[in-house]
């Protein structure tokens, strides 16, 4: 089974897996930097000074 690039759906290239090219890898990285992708988890609680509070 041939895997496809998640950005453009072309066949992947081993050097850039899971992408087909450096261009598609850079597009995906841009999505992460903009916050388009999120990993579910607990939200951090910060005090008034912006310091993380320890959870019990």
For 16, what's the count of Cα atoms within 13 Å in the CB-facing half-sphere?
Answer: 19
Residue-level pLDDT, tens digit, the chain, 56 residues: 789 999 999 999 999 999 999 999 999 999 999 999 988 888 777 777 766 655 54
Q: What would the CATH number be for the domain defined by 1-36? A: 3.30.50.10
In this predicted structure, what is the pLDDT of residue 52?
64
pTM of the complete model = 0.65
Q: How many whole angstroms separate alpha carbon 33 and alpha carbon 43?
A: 19
Tokens of 54: 């320890």
Q: How many whole angstroms separate alpha carbon 17 and alpha carbon 2?
A: 12
């Amino acid at each position: 089974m041939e895997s496809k690039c998640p950005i453009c759906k072309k066949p992947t290239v081993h050097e850039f897996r899971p992408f087909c090219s450096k261009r598609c890898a850079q597009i995906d990285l841009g999505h992460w930097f903009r916050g388009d992708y999120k990993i579910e988890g607990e939200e951090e609680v910060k005090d008034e000074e912006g310091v993380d509070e320890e959870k019990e």
